[in-house]
Amino acid sequence: MLRSHGRFEYSPITTRPDFSWPEGRRLAVYIAVCMEHFTYGEGGLGLSYSPGIPHPNTYNWAWREYGNRVGGWRLLELLQQQGVPPTVLLNTECYEHCPELVDAYRTAGTEFVAHGRTNSASPNELDESDEREMIQHVFETMSRNEGKAPAGWMSPGANPSTVTEDLLAEIGFTYTLDWPMDDQPTWLRTRGGPILSIPYPHEVNDVPMIALHHGTAPAFAEMMTDNLDELVEQSQHQPLVCGITVHTFIMGQPYRLRRFRQAVEHLVGLPGVWLGTPGEIASHYAGITAPEAALSGVVTT
């Protein structure tokens, strides 16, 4: 037997129980906007548009900062115009760095998902003690600023450690976006009891599509609309989730924003779609599908 993560067992989507999302809808869709802040002159900068430049890599830092100064505002305006409930994957350093942007999204009724302190560091680079301290700090910072505890988590750089889910459940998170392996929510086994995995888009995501695979703005919009159209058809047979992820400094660029707007307009006109947030999806699913008995056990990692 190959080594396993131990979080869940294999389950073909063709054998799952049937259910519906609110109002009898069959496809739940959320759009996540990544609001990130990077340290200047040290640490990681994620995928680079100028690889090989040593710190201080002003070019890459400033490219990302464009999202906080410009792109994030334009994306918020677009989502509000189209009536799409915003979801923000939030680096908590943004509370100090760009509070006006955070405030504007909060006023718009955004669900904030914890996305670490900064994308300059990922959980997989920390030992368990330091990772626990980081997650606890994020949990407390968001609870203080939002007046309620965050429910969801997405690791910076999509790079969780072997114990991230255990720490999340122990600290109080109820769902994670770190496991892009399904089109339906999945209960995960942890030391602290079950936690939900909500489907997250690895491909309908502007970082891999544009920064890694050099995709164009029209190609991203086409991929997004094709994915939605196909899932609308597939959802006639089984309830599904479609996440779409964009970053303020990538999709917030004017020429990409224009194509993205067209794709969002296509989304809001689709039949059978429930527009929500990952937290709303998690709450609905948890209310109708209890964790399997096996997932209530203790895991040793």
Q: Which residue has the higher pLDDT, 301 or 216?
A: 216
SS3 270: coil
The conformation of residue 69, written as its DSSP 8-state character, comes to I
Number of domains, the chain? 1
Instruction: Identify whether 2 is part of a domain.
Output: no
Span 107-159, pLDDT tens digits: 999 999 999 999 988 888 999 999 999 999 999 999 999 999 999 999 998 99
Contact 97, 119 (CB under 8 A): no
What pLDDT sits at residue 285? 96
Q: 89: which strand partners?
A: 34, 113
Q: Which two tokens stand for residue 42?
A: 């040290």
Span 172-190, pLDDT tens digits: 999 999 999 999 999 999 9
Instruction: Identify whether 9 is part of a domain.
Output: no
Instruction: Identify whether 1 is part of a domain.
Output: no
Span 59-96, pLDDT tens digits: 889 999 999 999 999 999 999 999 999 999 999 999 99
Domain span at residue 93 reads 24-296
Instruction: Identify whether 8 is part of a domain.
Output: no
What pLDDT sits at residue 48? 61
Instruction: Identify whether 56 is part of a domain.
Output: yes
CATH number of the domain encompassing residue 168? 3.20.20.370
Is the model's pLDDT at 239 over the cut of 70? Answer: yes
Instruction: Identify whether 199 is part of a domain.
Output: yes
Contact 71, 16 (CB under 8 A): no
The whole-model pTM stands at: 0.94
CA dist 25 and 186 (Å) reads: 19
> How many alpha carbons fall within 13 Å on the CB side of residue 209?
22
Instruction: Identify whether 4 is part of a domain.
Output: no
Instruction: Identify whether 171 is part of a domain.
Output: yes
In the chain, % of residues over pLDDT 70 = 94
H-helix or E-strand spanning residue 241: strand 240-247
The pLDDT-based confidence of 301 (bands split at 50, 70, 90) is very low
